[in-house]
Amino acid sequence: MRHLALLLITLAAIVCASAVAASPTQDAGIFVEPSISLLNGDVAVAPGSYAVYPFSLSQGSRVVARLSVTGGSGNGLDVALLDLENFHLFASGRPFRPYPDCSGRVSANAEFSCTVPLTNVYHLVLDNRRAVLMSRRVRAYVFAVAPEPTEQSKAAEKALGEAYQQLKRLFVFPDFGIAVRHCGTENAFSAPDITHCIELSESLEKQGLSNANSFVLLHEMGHSLLRLWDQPLWDNEDAADEFATVFFIMGNQPEPALEAARWSAARDSQREALAKVWVDDRHSLSIQRSRNIARWLNEGDELLRRWQRVLVPNMQTDALRALLTERGTVAWLDRSLVEQEVKRRSESSQ
């Protein structure tokens, strides 16, 4: 998850620019699901044939298969998860025993989930041998969740935890959790604990926009922090987009915001506009969100100056003092605002 490293770099750049010393902080609730993608794409299965996808799984792994089948009358397709022994029986035409919770007849959309009892090589079989004339087209999304954290999930948790601690060095706020997991949809949300869906992360990576994941995470952090700071626009999607853009400007890392703008521009805004007639949706049209991000990036220091009255009262005192002792000139900084906040805190502590 390369975007986590970029998020860490961005927050670290802001902390270093403010010359804030590291200090011990309480660990947040950080969780990254130890899952691996097994199959994600479109499959065509010819009539009278089957497709097989083998993968190795450890004992206790949970397999989830989400399938959508089209083509032919009834769109029927037989699906079976087999261990190595039963796959050999299947391939030789002999009776076999599939895992019942991950097997069955699919005629449109289906989701299977099962836990494998042993470490083994397993085979997912998409069987269209009942068909005589028509192929079946399968949209398959299959993943496995390991029973214990993996090296990859532990590394991602470490990167997220470090990014969170950088945020704590800058700002004062009650702790909130961050989870990266499968959700069943391409989404991210906060309440104020943040959930970043792996489906969205994988979709952005397939589009060559993996850095946009950092923007999504900071967007959700914007919702969480503004809510915890009792700001009236915490639930406003444009405000959260603006918050994320502010951070990437401060960290001199515009690429995640640019990729988020490209991602929004490529979405079907006409379809979104029609859907708004029937569905309550707080989000602006994607094309407008793209234009907003581009405009904010061009504003640069002007945008940062506008956000000072929200950020300064919620910054750590050490971060405020570091800004005042900055050797260079911070073009966007209202020194009098920072001085007043430091003075207010000093007087209130006496």
Does one domain contain both 285 and 313? yes
Tokens 């950092």 found at: 214
Residues 170 and 301 in one domain: yes
Q: Where does a domain end: 119, 145, 171?
A: 145
Domain shared by 98 and 227, yes or no: no
- CB distance 175 to 28 below 8 Å: yes
CB contact at 8 A, 36 and 143: yes
Same domain, 128 and 154: no
Give the relative orientation of helices 237-250 and 301-311 as an angle to the nearest 10 degrees: 110
The CATH number of residue 58's host domain is: 2.60.120.680
**pLDDT tens digits, the chain, 350 residues: what are they?**
555 555 555 665 565 555 455 444 445 699 999 999 999 999 999 999 999 999 999 999 999 999 999 987 677 899 999 999 999 999 999 999 999 999 999 988 999 999 999 999 999 999 999 998 899 999 999 999 999 999 999 999 999 999 899 999 999 999 999 999 999 999 999 999 999 999 999 999 999 999 999 999 999 999 999 999 999 999 999 999 999 999 999 989 999 999 999 999 998 888 877 877 677 767 788 899 999 999 999 999 999 999 999 999 999 999 999 988 875 567 889 999 999 999 999 998 87
C-alpha distances (whole Å) from 134 to each of 52, 53, 79 are: 19, 21, 17
Sign of the Cα torsion 272, 276, 277, 278 reads positive
Distances (CA, A) of 95 to 4, 90, 328: 48, 7, 77
Neighbours of 115 (CB within 10 A): 16
Region of residue 113 (phi > 0: left; psi between -120 and 50: alpha; otherwise: beta): beta
Could you give the CA distance from residue 262 to residue 302 in angstroms, rounded to a whole number?
23
Asked whether residue 8 falls in the same domain as residue 95, the answer is no
52 and 29 within one domain: no
Which pLDDT score, from 0 to 100, does residue 50 have?
97
Please report the sign of the dihedral spanned by the C-alpha atoms of residue 254, residue 260, residue 266, residue 272.
negative
Q: Which of 226, 184, 76, 195 is nearest to 138 (CA)?
A: 76
Containing structural domain, residue 13: 2-33+149-348
Domain boundary among 94, 113, 145: 145
Residues with Cβ within 8 Å of 123's Cβ and at least 6 positions away in sequence, in order, are 52, 53, 54, 81, 82, 83, 84, 87
Is there a single domain that holds both residue 253 and residue 175? yes
Spatial distance between the Cα atoms of 102 and 81, rounded to a whole number of angstroms = 6
pLDDT at 56: 96
Angle at alpha carbon of residue 330, lines to 324 and 336, rounded to 5°: 45
pLDDT number for residue 24: 42
Same domain (yes/no): 167, 248? yes
Strands 50-57 and 178-181: unpaired
| Same domain for 215 and 175 | yes
Q: Can you give the pLDDT at residue 239?
A: 97
Q: How far apart are CA 224 and CA 216, in angstroms?
A: 13
Last residue of a domain, one of 110, 145, 180: 145
Q: Rounded CA gap, 337 and 334, in Å?
A: 5
Extract the tokens encoding 21: 């010393």
Angle at 267 between CA 263 and CA 268, to 5 degrees: 170
H/E segment holding residue 70 = strand 62-70
Same-domain status, 257 and 238: yes
> Could you tell me the pTM of the whole model?
0.88
The domain total for the chain is: 2
pLDDT at 319: 93
Residues 84 and 165 in one domain: no
Tokens coding 73: 């009358």
Do both 81 and 169 map to the same domain?
Answer: no
Handedness of CA 322, 328, 332, 334 (dihedral sign): positive
Q: What is the reported pLDDT for 278?
A: 74
